[in-house]
A = this chain, B = another copy of it.
Amino acid sequence: MTTTPVSPLAPKGGFPKLPVIDGLRFAAVEAGVKYKGRLDVMLAALDPDTVIAGTFTRSKTRAAPVLWCQENLANGLAGGGKAIIVNSGNANAFTGRNGQEGVERTAQGVADTLGIPVRNVFVASTGVIGEPLPTERITAKLGELGETLSPDNAEKAARAIMTTDTYPKGSAASVTLDGTPVKIAGFAKGSGMIAPDMATMLVFIFTDACITQPVLQQIVSANTESTFNSITVDSDTSTSDSLIVGATNRAAMPAITSMDDPRAAVFADALHGVMLDLAQQVVRDGEGASKFVAITVRGAENDRAAKTVGLAIANSPLVKTAFAGEDPNWGRIVAAIGKAGEQADRDRLSIRFGDILVAENGWVSPDYREEDGAAYMKAQDLSVTVDLGVDTGQATVWTCDLTHRYITINADYRS
């Protein structure tokens, strides 16, 4: 793996100080799964009251660890502590029976180390595909991981799950629920792609909120649609994408047991902020990205249609190369709208770059000057707003540009 320069879109302040969450400890080690001389395995240990929610890739060729985690959630967890073990360097994807055995042996090792039920252990892997997981390199380090668990190790854990990410991604929020302060902290990796393979996004978020599993799952699922499912780097979906949220239920509050509890909406909103921040950091670290672009679609038949059009624009190689070239090429946006297949009123369509009205009523705006558009495109953060002129549906999606560096990163022969 070659060294990648830190993205020009990296957050200025570096990795944020994440708050300690009661009932949660991390450890990270150098296991040499593939990389040498860097952290590549992290363990999160969660106390017995923890509930876990998650969302996973919709790929039809899901990796073995994803299938394992989905089974855990589908069956419901047992009492006792919970854990998440993650390695970078090998995605354990498309590895057949060997891959499943690797997951089982890793989970069993963690269960033995922590004295918890094996099906309370969540497993995630990111890295090269199709190569056998060197399970023993991970299991050999479980003792060390167990002995070094600490509430303060979140940044080390965030670094251990990186692949071609150019910086670790963290986010935190605090919220007061009926007078009780509650913390939320999380980190993510992706969608920089592990050389040589694929964009995997892994996200782990923790909170000390007291909440039941069904309510947490409902909130996480609802939030995912407008955060992690609203970003795209290159339209490719990983076999391994996983979002796992653990709530330790340690805050001094009665548990939220229903979405009708007014605190549920407040908590959901705070969690949404952390999820959106992490999602946007993932896009900002998109391979080769030099621009961060928010695309808002209004006036669609409904919200779903708006998102479809937004993603069609965000995934269009022609639109993305225009951003890279700082070209205010609204014609390519019209073409992308057209191919999305959703209703658009060609004669009422409007397009804005930032506040600049570029096109309206199916026609270039009479006041639009190309030099204004060109000047706007020089910014690092861009926004495009499209009104389809049909109804009131709307959505925002986020993406980055498509640059020479993307080709360089992905066309290099793996060696």
Contact = CB atoms under 8 A, between A and B. Distances in A.
The count of identical subunits is 2
Contacts of A361: 96
B197 A324 contact: no
A223 B164 CA distance: 44
A234 B326 CA distance: 20
Contacts of A318: 193, 198-199, 234, 236, 410
Contacts of A364: 94, 130-131
Contacts of A403: 407, 411
A36 interface: no
Interface in A364-415: 364, 374, 402-404, 406-408, 410-414
Contact of A61 (B98, B346, B413): B346
Interface string A52-63: 000001111110
Nearest to A404: B407
A197 B234 contact: no
A239 interface: yes
Contacts of A408: 404
B331 A128 contact: yes
Chain A interface: which size bin?
35 or more
A123 interface: no
Interface string A325-348: 111011110111111111110110
A195 to B, nearest CB: 10
A199 B361 CA distance: 24
Name which of A359, A410, A414 has the most chain B CB atoms within 10 A of its CB: A410
Given A197-B329, A414-B329, A340 B238 contact: no
Nearest to A61: B338
A362 interface: yes
A86 interface: no
Interface in A238-295: 238-239
Given A96-B347, A96-B362, A335 B198 contact: yes
A35 interface: no
Given A60-B338, A326-B413, A359-B130, A197 B407 contact: no
Interface string A4-29: 00000000000000000000000000
A414 B327 contact: yes
A95 interface: yes
A315 B315 CA distance: 11
Given A62-B338, A321-B410, A94 B130 contact: no
A199 B95 CA distance: 39
Contacts of A96: 347, 361-363
Contact of A413 (B62, B93, B325, B363): B325
Interface in A304-320: 315-318
Contact of A239 (B128, B322, B338, B359): B338
Contacts of A146: none
Contact of A331 (B60, B94, B338, B346): B94
B327 A413 contact: yes
Contacts of A61: 334-335, 337-338, 344, 346, 349
Given A94-B362, A406-B407, 10 more contacts: A59-B335, A60-B340, A60-B341, A96-B363, A129-B331, A196-B322, A324-B411, A325-B410, A325-B412, A329-B414
11 contacts: A60-B343, A60-B344, A61-B344, A196-B322, A236-B335, A237-B339, A317-B410, A321-B411, A326-B413, A327-B413, A403-B411
Q: Which 7 A-B pairs have the closest CB atoms?
A: A59-B338, A61-B338, A325-B411, A129-B331, A237-B339, A96-B363, A321-B410
